[in-house]
Chain A
Amino acid sequence: MEKMIAQKNILVNEEGYLTNFAQWDKEVGEEIAKENNISLTPKHWEVINYIQDEFKKDSPLSIRKIGKSGVVDIKEFYALFPVGPLKTATKIAGVPKPASCI
């Protein structure tokens, strides 16, 4: 389905995840962050960039992997995205929700 995000018609799934990463830009990310009550700091952007890089490499994401990324540790990750960090961060980054149990 289509959703108006940052004055653009964006394709999203029923949970609000972008289905076409090519439609993502920074304004889209910022607006999704706002919907999730997060105001993005440079540290948030570092994490978002990391997530997007991993997505482009087709490499699956998990909490453990984020903790070993060298970008943030797990505690910081939860501090940046307090409610469901991996779910929220991937939604802001415009990539699919990770199908990870750990």
Chain B
Amino acid sequence: MMIILSKASLENVYAAFVLANGARMEGIEAEMFFTFFGLEALHNKKLEHLHVATVGNPAMHLPTMIGGLPGMEALATTMMKKEMEKLDMPGVREFLDILKASGVRLWACKLAMEMFHYTKEDMYEDLDGVLTVGDFYKQGSGIGTHMLFI
């Protein structure tokens, strides 16, 4: 299972992490490719500060104008994190540690790294490498590989 994460709102990051970890729990190989805003989930200074999106998300049942008020994202994020803690969900850094320990390989997208002026040193220390899109396709060329874009 190859999971591409292109967003860093907390709900998307957790969806990708749960899917990657769930694959390993079932004995399925899993790798993750972080691109565009998804890179924030690997960025050492940002990964602990990801937010839930409160604007442009009708399922929040919050009027867009209210969702856009200062502090709303932080409030929604705190509430979501509390709920997740109740379910024994790890934080983003601990989740990355769990993924690595479970054998998930983590790759960052070269083009997006350059676009955001990130270096490998800015990123989570157990990152497996920085890949071009071509390298990533090669990585996923095995028979039976599934790709998932989040």
Q: Do A and B come from one complex?
A: yes
Q: Does B134 contact A (CB under 8 A)?
A: no
How long is the Cα–Cα vector from A100 to B1 in the complex, in angstroms?
19
Question: When the two chains form their complex, are residues B101 and A74 in contact, meaning their CB atoms are under 8 A apart?
Answer: yes
How long is the Cα–Cα vector from A75 to B101 in the complex, in angstroms?
5
Q: Does B114 contact A (CB under 8 A)?
A: no
Q: Does A11 contact B (CB under 8 A)?
A: no
Give the total of B residues in contact with A, Cβ under 8 Å: 16
Shortest Cβ distance from residue B128 to the other chain A in the assembled complex, whole angstroms = 15
With A101-B18, A102-B21, A102-B90 as known contacts, state yes or no: A67 contacts B98, CB within 8 Å: yes
Query: Scoring B residues 4 to 41 as 1 if CB is less than 8 Å from chain A, else 0, what string do you get?
Result: 00000000000000100110111100000000000000
Give the total of A residues in contact with B, Cβ under 8 Å: 17
Shortest Cβ distance from residue B23 to the other chain A in the assembled complex, whole angstroms = 10
B residues near A, CB below 8 A?
A: 18, 21-22, 24-27, 87-90, 94, 98, 101-103
Question: When the two chains form their complex, are residues B26 and A84 in contact, meaning their CB atoms are under 8 A apart?
Answer: yes
Question: When the two chains form their complex, are residues B98 and A101 in contact, meaning their CB atoms are under 8 A apart?
Answer: no
Contacts of A74 in B (CB 8 A): 98, 101-102
How long is the Cα–Cα vector from A85 to B98 in the complex, in angstroms?
13
